[in-house]
Amino acid sequence: MKDFKVLLVDDEQEFIETLSERLKMRDLDAKLALDGEQALDAVRDEEPDVMLLDLKMPGMDGMEVLRQIKKAYPNVQVVMLTGHGSEKDEEQALRLGAYAYLQKPVDLEHLVTTLRDAFKNKVVRKVDATMMAATFAEAGEVETARQIMDQEEDPLGTKKKKGRK
């Protein structure tokens, strides 16, 4: 499993600093964000593969971050990790596209497995798109193949809107 990019989002700074040290020892480098706005800025700077996201934070809460991330960066896999134990929140998070919803305190090995599974989920989805595009290309439908790959790389057509050819 190749290395993948992780973003940890939580207002408890010592928690994510400690977690990031432990993940680093397991060959998982992680960037940190202390609130929703920082998280969105970090994703704009460099899109992570997987985001670990707290629910209750000052300012923009995790559910709103999730909503915005899945809208603008649907390929980012989001794992919720929260001390807030509401089933209603779990249902809503999963409905909004979260990959998993975990409770604090969490067993680290279970967390690492979940992060890796989330990344695998992203890879599988990308492979599916690539295979589909290859199938259309082999059938001579090159334009359709190109559209599939464009959609996979830029789901909202952001690059097209910026005039990129």
Partner 1 sequence: MLQRCLQGKGNSMESRESVLIGRMMAGMTHELKNVLAIIKESSGLLQDILSLGKGDAAPKPEQIEKVASRIQTHVARGNAQLSSLNWLAHSMSDGSSSVGINELSSESVNLMQRFARLKQVELGVQPTDRDLAIHTDVTRLFLVLVTCIEYYLDRESPKGRVAVRAGGIGEEATLAILTGSMGGPGTVERTGAGGDPLPSELASLEPLLRPLGVRLAFADTGAGTALHLILPLRRDEDR
Interface residues with partner 1 (CB under 8 A) are: 11-12, 14-15, 18-19, 21-22, 25, 56-59, 82-85, 103-106, 108
User: Which residue has 């990129």 as its token pair?
Assistant: 164
Cα(66)–Cα(79) distance, integer angstroms: 10
Would you say 27 or 46 has its CB closer to partner 1?
27
Least spacing, CB of residue 95 vs partner 1, in Å: 22
Cα(29)–Cα(20) distance, integer angstroms: 7
Would you say 74 or 83 has its CB closer to partner 1?
83
Would you say 108 or 139 has its CB closer to partner 1?
108
Cα(76)–Cα(68) distance, integer angstroms: 11
Least spacing, CB of residue 104 vs partner 1, in Å: 4
Least spacing, CB of residue 117 vs partner 1, in Å: 20
- The residues near 83 (Cβ < 8 Å, ≥ 6 apart) are 56, 103, 104
Would you say 61 or 117 has its CB closer to partner 1?
61
Least spacing, CB of residue 141 vs partner 1, in Å: 51
- The residues near 129 (Cβ < 8 Å, ≥ 6 apart) are 148, 149, 151, 152
Least spacing, CB of residue 18 vs partner 1, in Å: 4
Would you say 10 or 148 has its CB closer to partner 1?
10
